[in-house]
Structure 1
């Protein structure tokens, strides 16, 4: 019995796609990147911040995890360390390939009204101006 091997012109692209899989191709693209979160409500401490049921870093950007990040609508939840109350994003957060392409870091910004903003960057993430202003106002009104 003789085995027939495909030509190199066909074999190389097939191997490349097999190695890549669907990691960054198609509507359900998946990326692995450093993730963290920033919480701006000074009345509680957040923990178990999750992006699509996968824990991401917390601690005002000081804790970072390497996480699986999928393109599309996101489910973002976190808990209040004092009460265990579960919070979830009240707004619809959608991540596109353009947000993630070529980026190293993703940060979820958890605002006091339970809305969430996602930022991506190639450098260590920073808090947003919006969040810092909100945090300052809440501290002044205590």
Structure 2
């Protein structure tokens, strides 16, 4: 189940780079410290959670700015792969880290497609972005509560 959870967290990292990792950190800090394996227990500390939460919040704002580069460009893709691998490793080690990377690769392109499709349906990229925000926040929470 941990590998599935890591894959899903990675998939959702495709929507917002830092959200799943920030939620893993916050979940460990506030609700379940036993969620993280020992080498990653530091993610459940305030000093780790606060910058991740700030980055996740800034990303929610930055995503809607007209000059924000595509998530499929090298920098955005690498950031998603790294973030998802850390989230996966934190909940289960090496195999979940690899599952997180695979999920992030699929999620980066899948969420970009979903965003475009939603934008065409809503006739608004902003509405599509808000819908994607909701997915990026509620999805990892559901994974953490229901699977981890």
Normalised to the residue count of structure 2, the TM-score between the two structures is 0.31
Which structure has the bigger radius of gyration? 1
Q: Which has the higher strand share?
A: 1
Q: Quick check: which one's helix share is greater?
A: 2
